[in-house]
Amino acid sequence: MVDDPRRRPVRAVRLRSVGDAELELQYRVVHGYRRAFRMAGEGPPLVLIHGIGDSSATWAELIPDLARTHTVIAPDLLGHGDSDKPRADYSVAAYANGVRDLLTTLGIESATLVGHSLGGGVAMQFAYQFPERTERLILVSAGGVGREVNPVLRLVSLPGAHLMLSSLRLPGMRLQVGLAVRLMKLLDTDLGQDAPDLLNLVDALPDETSRNAFIRTLRAVVDWRGQVVTMLDRCYLTEGMPTMLLWGDRDSVVPVRHAFGAHEAMPGSRLEIFEGAGHFPFHSDPTRFVSLVEEFTASTAPADWSRDHWRQLLRDGGPGTSRTRGVDRDLREASERSAT
């Protein structure tokens, strides 16, 4: 962890209990598509954005604690969970637009964004597209930093992925995969840390519509060479925005070295490493995760965005300047990737 000059003394907060009814899925129709979300609590808005193939259910055990001090909104991204799964644009930019539109319908003008994996890329994209609506960023095992990603995801991005995913639903396959998962855990591999959670993602793809949406989303950010979207070239724009990076040191999906690269590229950011955790540190140690989120939001002031400051950052802070020279090599490696 590094000291952040923007941190403030922890404010006093009023805790409230959260009823079961608040944790149930709610729905809004936006642009003709049903969007599912969970919303609970009172206080400063906190938006939880899940990763690829996942849903708001991944945050279910954390929401009651976070909702004691925040208004928590956890959407099912389009193509995921109980939201509609149309043949649509599943890029990170489109997802950022979708989060904005859902928040607008809920009357929320600005929020702290917590994004996991793909959701981290969506949160970063949201901050880039709508900085005036972003109070803080908390990026958890976020995608979009380096090209490296688990080879299984690269494989699923190839032609024939539909057949591969469909085969996992065949009788007996679930048992065989389960045995392989247990073996990886017994061997104490990094993939073994994440395999149970990753297997749950496969179980969340019960039909062709769900699998099609998953593959379209994956191919928007991953190809056979790795991740195809980068945020490194725009990380300097987070200057003045409280940002915290949370990562497991045994992440088998997005390697922990990406955390250090993002930390270097994001001025004033704070980095917290979960020892022994994989790609889902908020599942491995939910108590520490909630504590860090609460402490960070309570001890930092929301970003004070201004058009003049944004203009100055764009003019003076781009790649190649002294402030970003440390990530130049990574930027060159990412030069062929989309930076929308």
CB 165 within 8 A of CB 156: yes
Which is the catalytic residue, given 251, 258, 269, 283? 251
Which is the catalytic residue, given 80, 116, 263, 279? 279
Strand partners, 86: none
The answer to whether residue 251 is catalytic is yes
DSSP string, 29-43: EETTEEEEEEEE--S
CB 124 within 8 A of CB 229: no
CB 5 within 8 A of CB 268: yes
**Nearest to 41, CA basis, from 12, 64, 62, 8:** 64
Which is the catalytic residue, given 117, 141, 269, 284? 117
The answer to whether residue 80 is catalytic is no
The answer to whether residue 141 is catalytic is no
Return the number of other C-beta atoms located less than 10 Å from residue 314's C-beta: 12
Residue 19's SS3 state is coil
What is the distance of C-alpha 294 from the center of its chain? 18
Q: Among all residues, which ones are annotated catalytic? A: 117, 251, 279
